[in-house]
Each structure stands twice: as structure tokens, then as C-alpha cells.
Structure 1
Amino acid sequence: MTYSDAVASLYRLQKHGIKLGLERMAALSDRLGHPERDFLCLHIAGTNGKGSTASMTASILEAAGYRVGLYTSPHLVDFRERIRINGEMIPELDVAKLTAKILAEDQSDVCPTFFECTTAMALRYFADRRVDVAVLEVGLGGRFDATNIVAPAACAITTIALDHQEYLGDTLSAIAFEKAGIIKARVPVIVGSIEGDAFRMIEDVAQERQAQLECLGRDFAIQGTREHFAYRGTVWELDGLSCTLDGAHQLDNAACAIALLEASSSRGLSVTEAAVRRGLQQVRWEGRLERIEETPLLLLDGAHNPAGAGALAAYLQTLRVDHPRRRIILVLGMMRDKDHSGFFAPLKSVVDHVVLTQAGLARSSSAHDLGQELESVLPSWTLAAGSTEAVAMARRLASADDVICVTGSLMLLGEVKALLRGCELSPLQG
């Protein structure tokens, strides 16, 4: 099986759709020799921020000298982005070998989904390459997510907001219950900026499972700016920290990452203050306020729900502090099942022009439909048939001091990144 054959085989599994439950994943793991038992795990859930927190956690552990597996989703350009060891993507040959092995072990009685197979691949690869620790980002929810077969040293829940309601429920409390499903008996759990009914739900689950709960603002705290901040927790008191990831919201994610490592220190992970500093200064996480070009400034941000849009709007507003006449041009494409009006609400007072477009996926909302739905709240706007035309149009509209921001869908970001790199795009999860 070649790499191309393997990726095509994996994506054919999308016919199974999203199927909640751990039975298939447990059976698949059993046939693969339970690779998740061969290394320590840190498990991270949350509506927003879980990927950034996972990347920071992995970067700090790598700086501490560990061999670190990182599993995230979705990818932007290359399927192999999902599975990394110390920042290096899984080789194409390993994808091909492991896909053949997993599909051979399936024997047609399990019928795993795409995500279950990629999760099994990551766990087996990490075990084969003898990682010391793996940082696993939850794919969807938590309770029934394929990653939830692991027994972590510690876990974290970064944020709770409305998203994926068709699978997780239509209230914050219901969504919190699903994400709290990663909490294991007597395993520490870190909670980010979560309040009200959502926090109470997580607190109830933690108490029921006798899991020590530490929450941002009560048990650990962070103050300052991205360039210079301080952390106060149960173990460390750190001053003069900085992080490469842009946006004020990344401070909360950094706090969760540090607290997660504090909580896991009694479980066999030893991290120095120097490693925390170096890891935060070296972390990379594509597609999150990622600067691609400077004149004009071209940003890619994967926000796709109202909470993410709020964080993006706050950041875009800061770009006008020293340049009050700077125009913000948004390239916007979204999936049909997302809250389009809720997403644009925090952005409408910040953005000067919107180029509406769509990613090349069946789930994408057409630019025309987005325009009809948002017409009453959009500033000046234009339609573009696809990502290539949309970026070209935004560049024609922008002056050297303006900002172009591509957002609304990680799938759209992947297309734009592939376009700008001049490379082929791996299939994206539909």
C-alpha cells in the first residue's frame, strides 16, 4: 500500500460518518495490542483552545527532554500534521504500513470510522517509536471520543461554548457533561475559563470520580500580556514568561498547559522552570492568528464558532491601536452546520469589508447562501467562487497597511495555506 492509497482508504471510511461510542475503538485497540498502555498520556478537551493548549504542553515537555507524541485534528494541508513526535510529522511510509495493519485487523466486524482509525494509528505509532508521553487532543466532545480509551496522568478542559450541538447537546451544561467524560477516577483535571452551569457540571463529575479539580482563577492564575506574563499555581511561581502564539486568549491556554504539567508532576513527569520558558517561546501552532505575510498583513485564524469569533475580534481591534485608519478585510467561509450570524456578530463592528467564499467540501455553505443570510449585518462585501479567487480579491482591495484575515473554517484555511505554499492539499475531513 502506498501513502496515497492509505490516505484514500482512510477517507473512504467517512461513509461510516461520526459514530459516538467507545466499543469500536476498544476492539481496535485490543487487536493492536493496546498501544495506549505503553506511554504516559495527557488528555485535553474543550470547545476552543484545546489544540493550542496541547501544542504548548507538548512543546514544554519536549524542552524538558522528553520524547513527545502529539495527536491533534483536523489537519490543515497534510494529513500527517495530525500525528507528530517532537514536532516531526509521521513519515508517509508509516502511514501506509499502519493503515494496512489497522484495516487488516478490522476484519469487517468493527467498521471503524475515519477518526477511530487515525486515533489507532497515532497510538500504535507512538508506542512503536517509544515516546515517553503523548499529548492527545479530543476530536469531538470527550465522553465518547475515540481518544477516551486512554488512562491519562492528568487531563484538562479548556473552555465550554456552543458548538457541535447536534452531537453534544444544545446547552452549555449538556456540552460540559460530554467534555467532562474524559475525567477519570482520581486523575487530576485542569479547568480553564469556565463558569456557571457548565463549571458546576464539571465539578459534579470530578467529585463523583474523586478527581482533584483545579480551575483557572481559583487554584492557578496568569497575569500580564503575551510578551510578558506571570503564572501562579500550586507548584510554580513564574515571572517574565512569554509565548509565541498571538492573541490575549492564549494566556488562558498557557495557564492550562502549565497547570496540567503541574498536576502531572506526581505521575512521573518532571519539568523545570527553564523548560516551561523555552517551550512557550518555541511553540508553533498553525492556523491560529498565524501571520503569513506582512505587507499587507495576512492572517489565518481557525475560529469557527461565536466564542472563537469573539477572541478574533478582540485581537483584530488591537491591530488598530497604532493604526486607527487600518482597514480589516475578512475572507470568510463556513460550514453549513455552523452558527453563521452568531459567528459574525462580534466581528461586525471591527471588519470593514468581507469577501465571502467557500471551501471545496460538500459541507461548505455557498458564498451566495452566506451572503443572503448575513446581508443585513455585513459591511461592504463581495462574493468569490473559491479560496484562490477570494485571496486574490482581498489582496486587490487591501493597501499596504491593511489587514486580511482568512477565517470561519479550518478547511478554508487549509486550502489557502496549500495555495500560498504552492503544494498539493491532502483530503480534508468532510
Structure 2
Amino acid sequence: MRYLHPMIPEYDWLYARTRAGRQRGPQGARALLDRLGAPDARFSSIRVVGTNGKGSSCAMLEAGLLACGARVGRFTSPHLQRYEERIRVDGQELDPARTAAFIAWAQAQAPNAAFFDLTLALAAQVFAEDGVQVAVMEAGVGGVSDATQALHNVTAVALTNVALDHVATLGPTLRDIALDKARAARPGVPLLTTATGEALEVVRDVAAEVGALLYTPDTHPALFALPHPPRLAGAHQQANAALAAATLRTLGYPQGVEAALQATYPARLESFEVGGKTVLLDGAHNPHATRALAASVPHADVLLFGNLARKDTAATLVPLLAAAPVRVFTAPGNLATPPADLAAQYGGEAVSDPAQALARALALTPPGGTLLVAGSLYLAGTVRDSLTAR
């Protein structure tokens, strides 16, 4: 996990909370929230769950709510460059001093709590203290088994899509994963989704069982209709935008749809110009995401790719191979799939250090050409550090 806080060694303690074999589920988060006086009861929450597109949907929801004059919190993960990206109030990242103060409290009061639970609790505390009215809360992994299931006062659940990812955690089949995500639904609360196929069938069944109010493009086409495509690039963003628009309209913020469509989000087909060359940076890190990326970028001159070994690296990489004839493979962290193995199997060069890999990939990109970077949000963050420092 990456962070840029060399002057605050307490961050080492916080990140170490991810390394123990901690029990999944909302119980730990609920205990932390109750210890803090249940700050999550002092604002309403929109939970955003799904396999891909959660961050983009959260960005669009935040923009739409802000345009309506609401005081808005946003909780997302992971971060790309700074831990404080995860917690925003009215579009502003959290002050690191508040993070440090919370870490000091947690070291004394909750030394065995998990990283994600701690970060969620910090977000809720900040939102309550800052008078947030509505918070956009991105789930980490799953739905009913995720820490965000602990939140009180959830006024809508937005489910983007369901695909095979985190199979070791959520189950081996698409149906297992869909069940976990769909069971984020709550009685009498709107459940909005752009899921399709088998996943949508599961969502329908769960909504009926729970008594959630189900909204889909088929049942409520006007809610999901868009006046024009979103600013975020890629055909896959149409569904994320439709979900955000439907959620805003359902909750009484229809005037925020236009602002939602103008939202941006880093490392989602983000474009940089470097020495007359185009770098397209995307955090796609599973097969569902890279298939969508390949459909949006059918050709690039060079691919810079790195993936975590716990992912299905082969299935994630294959959709991108046809897009770029020249490839550079790198390692986004200690737990990456060895780049030398990928270079040997798929053809290309292996450069373990991401910064050096970026330099090599740029050198291989012809003048006026395009470099596509994908495979990991951790890689996207490292590359973005380099690109924004130029």
C-alpha cells in the first residue's frame, strides 16, 4: 500500500493494520463507530457497491450533490497518491493533522482494529464533526460482508455491476458474488443497479426477499436516462453515469444530474501529454475492467502493465494484448505477479521498478504515439506521481 507522509511515522502503524488475518464483516466497524458515539447516525449515507465503477459513480454523485447545495462527504478507496484522498468534505481532502490525531486515538483505544474499519470510522467522525448532510460511501469488497454494512441511516444503495473478482473472499461463482453485493439492500430503501444478466436476477430475488425498492433501467427507464454522455471517457462510464443520475433523481436531487455528468476522476482513462506523446492512465485491475478498457482503447503503441499476484493476472492482461504490440511489464508492489514471468509468456520487456518502467515505456512510444498504463490502481498511483511531478 502506498502513502506519501514521510513526516508522520504513525502512518506506518495504520498501514500495518492490514497485515493481520482480520475477520471480515461489519462487526468491527460497528464497534468502532459506537465507541465514537455513532457519528454515522448524524448524516445520511448513499452506499455504492459493485465490482467496478464504484469510484467513478461516487465522483459523479459527489459532484451532483454539491451542485444542489448539499454539504457532502465522500469516502472512497483505495487512494492513488495520498491517504487523505479517501475522505473528502465538500470536495476537499482531509487535513492530515486530523488523520494523525485519529491515529493517536486509535493506537490507545482500538489497537487491534483493522485498517479499513479505522478509515471508515475516521470518515464518519469527520463527516459528523463537519456537518455533512449526505455522504457517498464506497464499499471496500462486497456488500453485506463489507464494513460499510455497519452504517446507520443509509438512504440508498447503488450497485454498479457484478463480475468475477475477489473470488477467494466473496465466493467462487458470479452468483455468490452477486448475493454478497445484493444483500447490501435494506428494507424500504431504494436499491438501484445497472447490473445485467445472472447478477440482475440475483438482485431482483434479494430485493423481493428483503423488501428493498428496486430501480433498474428496465423498470424505471426515465430515471436512468442521460441527456448526453458523461465527461469521463469510455463507453463503460455510460452505465456509471446512468446509475448516478438515477440515484440523484430518486433522492430528490434531479438538478444535480448535469454536474454529475461533468465530474472527473483520476486514473480512469486519464490523459497526459508527455513530450508530444499521450499517456492514458487507467486503474483497470480485473478482467471485467480491462475488457471495458480494451473496448474504449482499441489501439495503443505501448502497454505498461503490472498486476497483483492475488488477481487473475492472465485473464486481466489478455484483453489488452491486442491493443498494443509493444509491452513493458512491471511490479506494482511486493505482491505483484513477477514481471519477468509476464514478459517471457506474453512477449515484452520486464522492468521491476515502476518509475523506471514508465521511462522505458515512454522511450519505446513513438513521437505522437500512445502509451496505455493499466493493471493495478497501485501502479496507476505510482505512475501518476511521476506524471504530475513533471
Bin of the TM-score, shorter chain as denominator length: over 0.9
Partner in structure 2 of residue 390 of structure 1:
357
Partner in structure 1 of residue 113 of structure 2:
112
SS of alignment partner, residue 4 of structure 1: coil
Please tell me whether the aligned partners of residues 299 and 406 of structure 1 are also in contact (alpha carbons under 8 angstroms). yes
| Match status 1:293 vs 2:293 | no
Counterparts of 1:408 and 1:362, CA distance in 2: 15
TM-score (norm 1): 0.85
Counterparts of 1:219 and 1:104, CA distance in 2: 50
Aligned residues: 383
1:410 to 364, 377, 389: 377
Unaligned runs of 5+ in 1: 222-231, 266-270, 321-326, 424-430
Quote the sequence identity (%): 35
| Match status 1:52 vs 2:56 | yes
1:31 to 13, 31, 35: 35
- Once the two structures are superposed, what CA deviation does each residue of 1:295-344 show, in whole Å capped at 9, x if it has no partner? 31101101011110111101112xx5xxxxxx431100000011122112
- Once the two structures are superposed, what CA deviation does each residue of 1:182-224 show, in whole Å capped at 9, x if it has no partner? 111111100113212x2222211111111111113x0344xxx
TM-score (norm 2): 0.94
Equivalent runs, 1:129-208 vs 2, <5 Å: 129-150=130-151, 151-196=153-198, 198-208=199-209
| Match status 1:339 vs 2:341 | no
Equivalent runs, 1:7-406 vs 2, <5 Å: 7-106=11-110, 108=111, 111-150=112-151, 151-196=153-198, 198-216=199-217, 218-221=218-221, 232-233=222-223, 239=227, 241-265=228-252, 271-273=253-255, 275-281=256-262, 283-293=263-273, 295-317=276-298, 327-359=300-332, 361-372=333-344, 375=345, 378=346, 380-406=347-373
Deviation for aligned residue 1:261? 1.6
Distance 1:344 1:261, change over 3 A: same
Unaligned runs of 5+ in 2: 1-5
Deviation for aligned residue 1:238? 5.6
SS of alignment partner, residue 286 of structure 1: coil
Deviates more, 1:350-359 or 1:71-80: 350-359
Please tell me whether the aligned partners of residues 329 and 348 of structure 2 are also in contact (alpha carbons under 8 angstroms). yes
Deviation for aligned residue 1:346? 1.8
Return structure 1 stretches of 4+ with deviation > 6 angstroms.
none
Please tell me whether the aligned partners of residues 20 and 144 of structure 1 are also in contact (alpha carbons under 8 angstroms). yes
Distance 1:4 1:244, change over 3 A: same
SS of alignment partner, residue 42 of structure 1: strand
- Once the two structures are superposed, what CA deviation does each residue of 1:247-285 show, in whole Å capped at 9, x if it has no partner? 1110100000011122223xxxxx243x3213322x121
Counterparts of 1:73 and 1:353, CA distance in 2: 31
Cα RMSD of the aligned pairs, angstroms, is 1.8
Please tell me whether the aligned partners of residues 16 and 112 of structure 1 are also in contact (alpha carbons under 8 angstroms). no
